[in-house]
Structure 1
Amino acid sequence: MSYGVVGLPSPLYSNGLLPSTNKQGVGVVGLEGTNNTVKPPTDDSFPGFKWRLVIAYDGTRYAGWQFQTSPPTIQCIVEKALIRVTKLEREDLRLVGASRTDTGVHAWGQVAHFITPFSYDGLESIHAALNGLLPPDIRVREISAAVPEFHARFSAKSKIYHYKIYNDAVMDPFQRHYAYHSVYKLNTTLMRQAAEYFVGKHDFSAFVNVQRNDRLLNPVKSVFRFDVIEMGALLQLEVEGSGFLYRQVRNMVALLLQIGKEAIPPDIVPKILATQDRKELAKYALSAPPHGLCLVEVKYNEEHLRLPAACPLSSFGRHHSVRKCKLPFY
């Protein structure tokens, strides 16, 4: 099945070229700056068309987003579906995700992009084909054409994560995969006071676990908001920032849990931040479990989300309809 493929050249881009990338499909970049800008790639120009995906997944069964063959990851599963639909090799697709979510972490608004050497005259068929091949705990919510300048990871302006805590004596079994159970009655007033200390531009070295080789090394990040919302027994901690270090959100949540238990005061937060030492945080809290964390949204500037000229319409899925009842009336 061709899924509406049209041959090159195409009016999707005026010159039929994407900006250059390195062999891994990632632009040449340095550390995140204060304005979140990224140097554009400059080598190995190649013909191609860029496509943006919005993906939701239940991370319970997966070893995070980043590609590895065993145990399976979200990127691995999505790439296999893309390979079957596009008939391209993994190296040609150059799939990149906005956030490298860890083992057991969920997502509602993960963003990724991939590249093809051909365009499409419609995206609904490829959208349906991808979801038909993916397991039921991974779904492509949206697929659209992207401008050459768009990069799922490096174009991101901010990211929003939610961490859910079920605060009751007995755990709701329907929340067990998506919320951390706290049997201690948490003081949400103290948690809100403490969360405010995280807001602003800080060096978060004290809240990052040992970094992997492929992680950005700049520990200075901006947190725009950190809200503690009560929904009955369920607490939802919502944090938005320019970016987050490895396990930073889970480490911040872990400290807020200790403060909510009234084991330590809220003003411990700026004191730990000032040390820039992960060992200082370890005196008070360990990382919160991953299953309560969800990547909800990745935000971009409008110029990165604009659609290229003469591109196919974005696909948000399609509804089926029944023209005639196939069951007799009784």
Structure 2
Amino acid sequence: MNNYKLTIQYDGARYKGWQRLGNSDSTIQGKIENVLTELAGEKIEIIGSGRTDAGVHALAQVANFKMKKNVTTEEVMDYLNHYLPNDISVVRVEMVHDRFHARYNAEEKTYSYKIWNKKYTHPFMRKYSMHVPEQLDFKKMREAAKYFLGEHDFTSYSNAKSKKKSMVREIYSLTIERNDGFIEIKVCGNGFLYNMVRKIVGTLIEVGVGNVDAASIPSILASKERIQTGRMAEAEGLYLDHVTFKN
């Protein structure tokens, strides 16, 4: 049994997220599995490093799958890129050891979020960034970012339905940079809850426009009340940037 590791880029605009939904052909996982099943001549299931939501993009999603058929990594890559739609690309295929698991072996993940911060819209990036016409206070946003660093219970910053799983996550870094009208927020951590990054970005935007005081973030975290986090940033500005794995 061969174990293949895929590095995948995709435009999530027309998909209902990463995770397969029954027999639906409207997810990234479903599209890739359908093509691999044809190649393998058997039912193939792929394991992603994480689930991106509907409309969210990926610069380097990682997945793995196992297949009995002996096919080279080059053949797998060529076959996938030939039959997948042009908004999904497999940029790397590697043969890995049998125990490699894209989800369980992931050590840290980095997401990036793009904001277009001008009064007018950006015609070419409107599907790939969030338009915030109000002038954002960059200094206040950077101050607010510091409160998210470290280990916290992020119940307030998630829409996760399960109450049995731990809501504790650790954020290693959170950077905010400006470049010619764009603001890019990058957040790196050991894992993220459902909608967590988008809710964090939403709070940073609220701080930037003056609706929320940065100093209130610790109390919002401590409250574990989701209603206190306010707006959630739009899906189209979010990208799974890269995933780091344990050696």
Give TM class, smaller chain: over 0.9
Counterpart in 2 of 1:52?
5
Counterpart in 2 of 1:326?
none
> SS at 2:242's partner residue?
strand
Counterpart in 1 of 2:153?
203
Please state how far the C-alpha of 1:280 moved relative to its aligned partner. 2.4
> SS at 1:255's partner residue?
helix
Please state how far the C-alpha of 1:210 moved relative to its aligned partner. 4.0
Mapped pair 1:272 → 2:220: yes
Whole-angstrom distance in 2 between the partners of 1:59 and 1:210: 21
Runs of 4+ in 1 over 2 A off after TM superposition: none
Q: Which amino acid aligns with 1:290?
A: A
Q: Trace 1:227-238 onto structure 2 (pairs within 5 A).
A: 227-238=175-186
- What TM-score results when the alignment is normalised by the length of structure 1? 0.72
Mapped pair 1:83 → 2:37: yes
- What TM-score results when the alignment is normalised by the length of structure 2? 0.96
Mapped pair 1:301 → 2:243: no
Mapped pair 1:249 → 2:200: no
Counterpart in 2 of 1:318?
none
Please state how far the C-alpha of 1:55 moved relative to its aligned partner. 0.5
Please state how far the C-alpha of 1:136 moved relative to its aligned partner. 0.2
Is this contact kept in 1: 2:31–2:84, CA < 8 A? yes
> SS at 1:54's partner residue?
strand
Q: Choose 1 or 2 for highest CA Rg.
A: 1
| Counterpart selection for 2:211 from 259, 263, 271 | 263
- Report the CA distance shift for 1:124/1:71 in structure 2 as closer, same or farther (over 3 A): closer
Counterpart in 1 of 2:102?
152
Whole-angstrom distance in 2 between the partners of 1:71 and 1:271: 42
> SS at 1:175's partner residue?
coil
Mapped pair 1:73 → 2:27: yes
Q: Which amino acid aligns with 1:113?
A: N
Please list the CA deviations of residues 267-317 of structure 1 after superposition, one character each: whole Å capped at 9, or x if unmatched: 111110111221222xxx221110000001010023xxxxxxxxxxxxxxx
Whole-angstrom distance in 1 between the partners of 2:49 and 2:148: 23
Identical-residue share of aligned pairs (%): 35
Unaligned stretches of 5+ in structure 2?
A: none
| Counterpart selection for 1:291 from 216, 236, 240 | 236
Please state how far the C-alpha of 1:118 moved relative to its aligned partner. 3.4
Whole-angstrom distance in 2 between the partners of 1:258 and 1:58: 27
Give the root-mean-square deviation of aligned CA atoms: 1.4
Higher strand fraction: Structure 1 or Structure 2?
A: 2
Counterpart in 1 of 2:83?
133
- Report the CA distance shift for 1:212/1:138 in structure 2 as closer, same or farther (over 3 A): farther
